Amino acid sequence: MKKYGFAFLIGVLLLAGCQQNTDQTPCDPTPVSIKAPQAEVATLKQYIDSNRIAATADERGFYYVIHAPGAGAKPTVCSNVTVNYKGQLTNGEEFDSGNQVSFGLNQLIFGWQEGIPLIAPGGSITLYLPPTLAYGAQAQPGIPANSILVFKIDLIRVN
């Protein structure tokens, strides 16, 4: 991982702590339904359009490009997944990356909870996330507050 990798992962887990599944509390398999505010969606759309990115808009306010759909059963928010990923700011600066990293989706930012289930194992997706579906007003190591984030994710497997 990059220099901020460990801090980023800790931040992901701490930020999502209120969503974390425990053995005593079963995971709610209902898909996430958080929507980004219209102002964030408009800013993200401007980025998508100005960079001529052929992305699909999701009704929840993020954009995505599926590079490969994968095959088999898609994960749910209750799934534990193994991924390769790279996170970037809109200026192209990479703030984190990881290979063969496993997470419970319910422990991650909303954009990952909503975006990763769009593909199956072996699939690849790029997510363009507005701040509300990423870290919002909470700055993270290498990530300014209220940042649009770009994640390139390969879903290796659903564990």
Q: Does residue 27 sit within a domain? A: no
Tell whether the model's pLDDT for residue 36 goes beyond 60: yes
What CATH number does residue 44 fall under?
3.10.50.40
Tell whether the model's pLDDT for residue 101 goes beyond 50: yes
pLDDT at 62: 98
Question: pTM for the whole thing?
Answer: 0.84
Least Cα distance to 152 among 97, 79, 93, 105 occurs for 97
pLDDT at 69: 98
Q: In 3-state terms, what secondary structure has residue 97? A: strand
Structural domain of 46: 5-21+34-158
pLDDT at 26: 75
Q: Does residue 29 sit within a domain? A: no
Q: Which pLDDT band, with edges at 50, 70 and 90, does 8 fall under? A: very low
CA 79 – CA 74 distance, rounded (Å): 9
